[in-house]
Structure 1
């Protein structure tokens, strides 16, 4: 299902705001003259951009967009200052009518509000901790996108708050509850961000890492794909096979994300390294730099494991979700690519049904263990040093 269908009577020329929407949402274009009820039903939000001067066009829209959806899920964007279109939109009982002078940002915000309606309803059935973390994560996702598009620094306060909220939610409610709640979000890209953050945060808790290490894991996970926000969602969430050009564009995301964080000047260098190198492997076969084990710190190694596992267990437009055991089996076959000690611990965590359902309310400080990730110390080496 697409996020938006934009119905126009402007032929092949898309409206100016369509490009802005395509950066944040999956968008399908349609013509007033040929749009079908099936096409409308396959989109979460309907945007009508038409002069609405032809009686046949008005009648057709009334037929293919049911009255309930016109009231709740449809936005009319006037294509000119002509009053006639606004009057017809009101006669169609379209729920939200925007005059022609409204900006792309206003239209995007209106779409987001409709899309979040289902999320808000679903979160009412969740614990307050989980609901708060999802809501904070959604706000972060939107702010990250706005910052990337405007080439502005990322919002550090929202990032820290989201990392803390996810850590608290997974610790008190369990990883399984978190992963289930994440599925309520309409965006596959946002779901992946929150899924990786949940796995990474839980991984740190499973290893009894220091509170600051768990927070750093969550922050790195939330930012690991930030470079993808430069790439249209229509490419990121494409249902069919990617073209070579599209694949190359996606493969730039890790370096673009790291560069954006460097320009922002507010992110820890270890987190930037994890964003840049989370597709690198210990044997040097990854991208974008082809570095090996000596160039990959423990934070990066942990994010790589969480990212791969999350991608395998997630449903995507082009594949079904794999079970935890299927995913772990595939990862076990990546000989020489992943950190063996960390992978063995992660495997134990995700295959432990007790841990997934409820975690012990340990932390802050986590048993007196010193912070290790910011210093570049491997968690298992740090535990040995503490024991000594």
Structure 2
């Protein structure tokens, strides 16, 4: 959530920055500023009445001691009126504050200066590309055919048990999935990330804290009885470990990693681009989350990008990195890099990771602060990245490593799998 003081002092800057997201925010920004002025004016009036009431109470006490009961009775009547006024003003101030918060929730994060202009994924900037695209044998197949051929993932069985988008992993497919999870976690912990296991449900406060609510309410599975949400990513529970926390500057940075299943209601349209593992309702992902000092968060973001690059280099998958344009960035992000693996069998790029800096946007919602060297409380910066999302990484491995003899396992994964080939 954007800070109200920043909006108040930088109205034009905010409007221009959000225009990079193709959002005309002028009206909302003006409404936010007007509500803030009303809130502050109401609070001043309330504070004055409370101060007057405190003085009256002191005066009444002195009059009673002096035996001036008649004068004290007059002041008591005034304190009763002040009490009624202060109660009404407190209710008005609370209502204005609630309306102001709802308005602030509608404003996305401001894009960083280096975010490119653009309206859609077509305008994203390719900033890096690595790896050789393999030459496949004639008759190479996409992964949804390969998994049937080798009986390692069963989409129909998952559909019977639950519905479309909930696959069943079998035999070497399940072992390869587990191998990837363990490999990703080992890479992350070796890089200094502390592994945690977190709940797969979160409450409403947690979903608001990281910005899933109200922006992505329709994309999450919701248990109405207990008002809990199945997590769309480990980012939500992991980042909320630090909600309402005041850190010391010496505790920064904090690096955390977690494996969780992820649940998303949005299914997309029909066609090859959403077939098989390309888009699921339930999938596995290993996440990295950082809490950083504001002066060091972009250096940390670069480090996260290099970390994911190292993993993909070890997997020997062809990939590219895109800097997302304003029109394609997530609601909470100030800057996002997407990683995409090239699927030779599908002849297309598959998104497999997003690495983002949220600056203070999440921290402001979370009330995640640290005490600086001068003893002042400052909002921390939060960052997160997929390291990595499994379905499309797995699809890339199955398709790019297929041979006439079977699917060869990347060398780095063989100690985790216990086998060299799926045949």
TM-score (norm 1): 0.27
**Relative to total residues, which structure has the larger helix share, 1 or 2?**
1
Bigger radius of gyration: 2
Higher strand share: 2
Of structures 1 and 2, the one with the larger relative CO (CA 8 A, separation 6+) is 2
